[in-house]
Structure 1
Amino acid sequence: MATGADGWAWVGWDWRDVDDVRRRLEQGADPERWSGGRPLHRAAAFGSAEVVAELARRVADVDALENGVTALWEAVMFRRPENALVLAAAGADPWRRSIGGWSPGRLSLAGPTPGLFTAPAGVELTEAERAVAEEAARLIDVLGGFYHEGTGLACVAGIDAAEAVRRLGASPVRGEEIDEFLEDPYAYDMDDGLEIVGVTSVPGGCLVTQPWGYAPQMPGVLTRLSAGTVCYGLYANPKSGNQGSVARDGTLEGWDLHPGGGPNPEDTAEQVLTSYVYDGNAVAFSCAYAGLRLTDVRAVTGPADLWVRLPRRGYWKD
């Protein structure tokens, strides 16, 4: 017998080895149960098409639910079209509605493989949904694949850089002082470095950036910036991942969010679509939340329109 209560001992999130999976199944591994969830769901998201096919033919229901979604949903969400096609061939229903009223097939129309399934008559994206998907593709392409770990951002709707500086009570840092600092921000005392942020006007509003720290998403920064508008804060924490927050009209209304992560079971249709089109793209998600339509990556990585020093105050209180 395979070791472990369910036969999947030492199998983590890598479900690509079909020979290993087949051997375990033949030795009694349970195709319906794994300590981390349902094997077919994990394989659909992280495995090979061969493993998906092997598991699909052994489970009782290829459309069984885990956390409210099917394995086919997972394949679509994680951009695994080859796995999605295998599941559909095994009988999975692309048009079965799930979170937010979306089906895997209709959701795929907003992604990189809109022709993955043949849609029934009348199943299509609305104009508004298509606009969201097109803007996501554009924004992700504009930002590109830059290294953003350790970066802090505040994406502010409807105000420009000058107004953001005024709201923060910040003072300009210019000339040799900022040039020397930017050569190696990490060479400076951390508290001193956290006081300096970049502010740049962009279509839709402005962006406050700190490529070396978390200052822009501190509650006291976000609430000041969000007076009469909305602000999305991001800190790409190298230790624990992307951390998001929302401030609206001077009040912090969301904290410890997960920008660029998948949808939650209670999400609305709009939230599901946004989570899907920006999956794995935390910076683009944060900008889009505030309606910022960046045309290049400069507002995030610098050089900023303005480099300013924040006044010293208790920013961890909003």
Structure 2
Amino acid sequence: MVTGRNDGWAGVGWEDWRDYDGIRRRLDQGADPEAWSGGRPLHRAAAFGSPAVVSELARRVADVDALDYGTTALWEAVLSDRPDNARALAAAGADPWRPLIGGWSPGRLSLAGPTPDLFTVPDRERGLTEAERAAAQEGGRLVAALGSFSYEGTGLACVAGIDAEEAIRRLEATPAEGEELDELLEDPYGYDMDESLRFIGVTTVPGGCVVTQPWGYAPSMPGVVTRLSVGTVCYGLYANPKSGNQGSVARDGVIEGWDIHPGGWPAADSTPEEVLASYLYRHNAVAYSCAYAGLRPSDARAVVGPPDAWAELPQHDYWNS
């Protein structure tokens, strides 16, 4: 539950933004329509509330396009897949075509999503480029192809341009098979972590390959992604059960990015390409990781198994080299 101080919103949680009578009562009793727990009520309602609550708040604020951390309430509604809230904001005067992060406006971003007809496109608006349309089309295909599955605790390395055999060679791994592997796969969490982390699955997919470990972070360790990325690019992911999705980028043997948050909202300094990718793969860190490396799997097998091959990593300090 999130609370506010001295603004009339104390005790309001995320689900309460759908309670029109409750929100209106608070507003009538003096709740501040401009401030909630360090943010703006209209932004929270746009992302989590109902169209009725959005309309009520929009009627009471001084500026329906006021910024909160660099974005408008309409931007929040579009990225949160709340088209009804977006329509309510537009009806209240919000500007769908105001450029925000990376030069994207909420309206232009919506053209790449599931509701491209959300707003009337003005003549002056250039719409999506050919490359952006292609990215949006592939984004929809990839998300549908992977489907919905639990990947908490999974480690991945998505590598462009090499197949499973080459990935195993670069890691100097050896084929894993037999009774020991069978027992591990039956209950990976029953093994000592140092032992279970040695085993990885590797699968060739269109565009490259995926190294996976459904129970641990080994594929995303620095010494793994740097070895895999020689002459190419590798996106590492660990879906940390404690702290959320942790991403990394290695290019030609060098770590370029660490502690990235794939599947999350774009940052204020995101490039136009990063904004589009964040939108296309919102809440889907696995799809984001695959797309970053240009992988085009036709299903989730490369992630959840069974892989093309199981392999055992050699003993090495993968955190420091």
- TM exceeds 0.5? yes
Q: Residue deviations 1:67-86, cap 9 Å, x none?
A: 11110011001110000000
Identity %: 72
Q: Which runs of 5+ in 1 are unaligned?
A: none
Q: Which residue of 2 aligns with 1:120?
A: 122
Is the partner of 2:60 in helix, strand or coil? coil
1:4 positional shift: 3.8
Runs (4+) of structure 1 moved beyond 4 Å? none
1:201 positional shift: 0.7
Equivalent-residue separation in structure 1 for 2:247 and 2:5 (angstroms) = 38
1:287 positional shift: 0.4
Q: What is the count of residue pairs matched by the alignment? A: 317
Q: How does 1:64-213 map to 2 (within 5 A)?
A: 64-121=66-123, 122-213=125-216
Equivalent-residue separation in structure 1 for 2:39 and 2:301 (angstroms) = 41
Q: TM-score, normalised by structure 2?
A: 0.96
1:101 positional shift: 1.0
Q: Which runs of 5+ in 2 are unaligned?
A: none
Q: Residue deviations 1:38-92, cap 9 Å, x none?
A: 0000100111111101100000000111111110011001110000000000000
Q: How does 1:5-20 map to 2 (within 5 A)?
A: 5-14=6-15, 15-20=17-22
Q: Which residue of 1 aligns with 2:27?
A: 25
Equivalent-residue separation in structure 2 for 1:16 and 1:120 (angstroms) = 31
Equivalent-residue separation in structure 1 for 2:126 and 2:255 (angstroms) = 38
Is the partner of 2:18 in helix, strand or coil? coil
1:180 positional shift: 2.4
Asked if 1 retains the 8 angstrom alpha-carbon contact of 2:173 and 2:312, the reply is yes
Q: How does 1:252-267 map to 2 (within 5 A)?
A: 252-267=255-270
Q: TM-score, normalised by structure 1?
A: 0.97
Equivalent-residue separation in structure 1 for 2:217 and 2:272 (angstroms) = 31
Equivalent-residue separation in structure 2 for 1:60 and 1:52 (angstroms) = 14
Equivalent-residue separation in structure 1 for 2:227 and 2:38 (angstroms) = 42
Q: Residue deviations 1:127-167, cap 9 Å, x none?
A: 11011011111111111100100000000111111111111
Is the partner of 2:117 in helix, strand or coil? coil
- Worse-matched range after superposition: 195-204 or 170-179: 170-179
Equivalent residue letter for 1:26: D
Q: Which residue of 2 aligns with 1:57?
A: 59
Equivalent-residue separation in structure 2 for 1:179 and 1:29 (angstroms) = 60
1:119 positional shift: 0.5
Equivalent-residue separation in structure 2 for 1:295 and 1:46 (angstroms) = 32
Q: Which residue of 1 aligns with 2:43?
A: 41
Question: Do residues 292 (structure 1) and 269 (structure 2) align?
Answer: no
1:123 positional shift: 3.1
Corresponding residue to 1:228 among 219, 228, 231: 231
Equivalent-residue separation in structure 2 for 1:147 and 1:265 (angstroms) = 29
